[in-house]
Amino acid sequence: MGVPGAEDVPAGLSGVTAIAAGEFYSLALKSDGTVVAWGFSSPSQLDVPAGLSGVTAIAAGEVHSLALKSDGTVVAWGSDLFGESEVPAGLSGVTAIAARGYHSLALKSDGTVVAWGSDYNGESNVPAGLSGVTAIAAGEYHSLALKSDGTVVAWGENSFGGQTEVPAGLSGVTAIAGGWFHSLALKSDGTVVAWGYNGAGETNVPAGLSGVTAVAGGGADSLALKSDGTVVVWGDHKRGEMNVPAGLSRVRAIAAGAYHILALVESDTDLGLAGMPANITTNATSSSGAVVSYTPPTVLDEEPGATVFCDHPSGSTFPIGTTTATCTATDSDDTPSWVSQSFSVTVVGAAGQTTALISTVQSFNLPAGFANSLTVKLRGVQSDLATGASTDACDQLGAFINEGHAQSGKQLTISQTSKLVAAATQIQGVMGC
Ligand SMILES: [Ca+2]
Ligand SMILES: [Ca+2]
């Protein structure tokens, strides 16, 4: 959008924990402590020093880059027209860094600020005695410091815009940012205050803006990140590159260059399945198994559009034995883009159903001789099935059914008869008798 490459995030870039926008290029800090750079190179701000690691924060100026290491030291590379890449010898104990234009800032653990690089506008001329600083920010030609009492101190270029004229009484500030010629402060109540040059409306904070958790200054633009993960931009929209992409959400950090905006978007990882069926056991009704119906799971996602598919749909025929059915929820904007869960469907064949029928007979507490007569036939079915003598098994089932009918209303109730006959008939069906 406008500038060659600054917004062209490298394909596959992930694991990013922080972002920084130079005027025409971008930096990303990865969770492994390494730095990735892309965009327009002039002259060498993209040339991340070989082996640079252990980085905990990054900053980008006009065309120079800074990295804060976990040992509290700072590494700089890129342009050095005004000494902006010449980290002061022995600088250590640094807890935060900032850069813009051609100057660099470092906040030390003792609450003091060190600046280097261009001082043409006084932007590197840290006010004498400045202490108690908890955050720093750099504008193009000015600098900002947030103090532990929630007030803001600014220095550097002021004749063009009044960007260092901190509004009287401003307090309760929790974060600061600088643009080309304007300044931004986030207050503890989630509102934003802006001051300085307003040629493009960059200090016209939208009425009612609240719930803000971070601010950033572009060239002639201002950005606010809201607690709901959305981004609000105001100021120069003439070029269109500052328009927030439709649907942008889950944003966790923002950064702005001259003509591009970066948003660090948290991976969408909540795709899931709800209501997975429990394992199912059922009797075969034919030699091909059984038609099994179940309530399919539903998809879990924070938005509509995800789909769910089960590889053995409800209402399909499951073969005798145990089948694993797998259901998969899919949505391309989630990471991973699909998740699966499985359940088992066990279809009991002729042998298993015969065993169950023996138990049924025994549960009826029939006269011993009659019960034995029925049971012997079913045991015969079992041994015939075991040896593959299916014709004999069919005959034994036929005899079982005949005996059941003969004793209906006698040694068996009508209800018992119909139960035994139905079960035996189903076994015959499974065997193809
Ligand atoms: Ca999701
Ligand atoms: Ca989704």
Domain at 212, CATH number = 2.130.10.30
* 172, 197: one domain: yes
Instruction: For residue 11, tell me if it sits in a domain.
Output: no
Is residue 6 assigned to a domain?
no
Tokens 């972002």 map to which residue?
19
Residue 285: Cβ-neighbour burial (10 angstroms; 0-12, 13-18, 19+): middle
Give the phi and the psi of residue 402 in degrees, each rounded to 5. -60, -40
Q: Is the dihedral of CA 149, 150, 155, 160 positive or negative?
A: negative
Query: pLDDT tens digits for 389-407?
Result: 999 999 999 999 999 999 9
pLDDT value of residue 277:
98
pLDDT score at 240: 66
Q: How far apart are CA 237 and CA 19, in angstroms?
A: 22
Q: How far is the CA of 336 from the centre of ligand 2 (A)?
A: 10
Q: In this structure, what CATH number is given to the domain that contains residue 285?
A: 2.60.40
pLDDT of residue 2: 46
**CA dist list (Å): 196 to 37, 165, 175, 184, 199:** 30, 7, 17, 9, 9
User: How many angstroms separate the CA atoms of 99 and 93, rounded?
Assistant: 18
Mark whether 285 and 418 lie in a shared domain.
no
**Alpha-carbon distance 133 to 137, whole Å?**
11
| Distance (Å, whole) CA 419 – CA 395 | 19
423 close to 415: Cβ distance less than 8 angstroms:
no
Instruction: Work out the burial of residue 129: count CB atoms within 10 Å of its CB; fewer than 13 is exposed, 13-18 middle, 19 or more buried.
Output: exposed
Q: Would you say residue 111 lies in a domain?
A: yes
Mark which of 348, 376, 408 sits at the end of a domain: 348
Query: Are residues 161 and 56 located together in one domain of the fold?
Result: yes
Does residue 355 sit in the same domain as residue 340?
no
The 3-state secondary structure of 85-108 reads CCCCCCCCCEEEEEEECCEEEEEE
- pLDDT score for 1: 42
Span from the CA of 268 to the centroid of ligand 2 (angstroms): 7
Measured distance CA(429)–CA(433) in Å, rounded: 6
Same domain, 252 and 360: no
Which residue among 300, 317, 348 closes a domain?
Answer: 348
| Domain span including residue 397 | 350-431
In this structure, are 250 and 176 located in the same domain?
yes
* The total number of structural domains that make up the chain: 3
Amino acid at 188: S
| pTM across the whole model | 0.75
**Position 213, amino acid:** T
- The answer to whether residues 200 and 221 touch, using CB atoms and an 8 Å cutoff, is yes
Residue 251 lies in a domain: yes
Specify whether 140 is located in the same domain as 243: yes
299 Cα: distance to centroid of ligand 2 (angstroms): 10
**Bridge partners, residue 341, by sequence:** 327
217 shares a domain with 98: yes
pLDDT in tens, 239-286: 666 789 888 989 999 999 988 999 999 988 999 999 999 999 999 999
Q: Check residue 205 and give its pLDDT.
A: 98
Same domain, 336 and 363: no
Cβ(24)–Cβ(39) below 8 Å: yes
pLDDT digits (tens, 9 = 90+) for 77-105: 999 999 999 999 999 999 999 999 999 99
Cβ pair 299, 273 in contact under 8 A: yes
Judge whether 10 lies within some domain.
Answer: no
Please give the helix or strand (H or E) that residue 78 lies within, else none: strand 74-78
Task: State the distance from the centre of ligand 1 to the C-alpha of 225, rounded, in angstroms.
Answer: 20
Classify each residue of 11-36 as buried b or exposed e, where b means 16 or more C-beta atoms within 10 Å of its C-beta.
eeeeebbbbbbbbbbbbbbbeeebbb
Measured in angstroms, how far is the CA atom of residue 263 from the centroid of ligand 2? 18
Domain end (from 265, 289, 312): 265
Q: Are residues 95 and 154 in the same domain?
A: yes
Q: What is the pLDDT of residue 179?
A: 96
What averages of pLDDT result for each successive group of 10 residues across the chain (433 residues)? 70 94 95 95 86 98 97 97 97 98 98 98 98 98 98 95 96 97 98 97 97 96 96 82 84 93 92 98 97 98 94 98 98 94 98 98 97 97 95 97 97 97 98 95
- How much distance in Å is there from the Cα of 334 to the middle of ligand 2? 5
Average pLDDT, the chain: 95
Residue-wise pLDDT tens digits, 39-56? 987 778 889 999 999 999
- Between the CA of 332 and the centroid of ligand 2 the distance, in Å, is 7
Q: Which ligand is nearest to the CA of 250?
A: 1
Domain assignment present for residue 9? The answer is: no
Query: What is the structure's pLDDT at 242?
Result: 73
324 & 252 share domain = no
Residues 133, 192, single domain; the answer is yes
Residue 3: inside a domain, yes or no? no
Q: Does 5 fall in a domain? A: no
Q: Is the four-CA dihedral 104, 107, 108, 114 of positive or negative sign?
A: positive
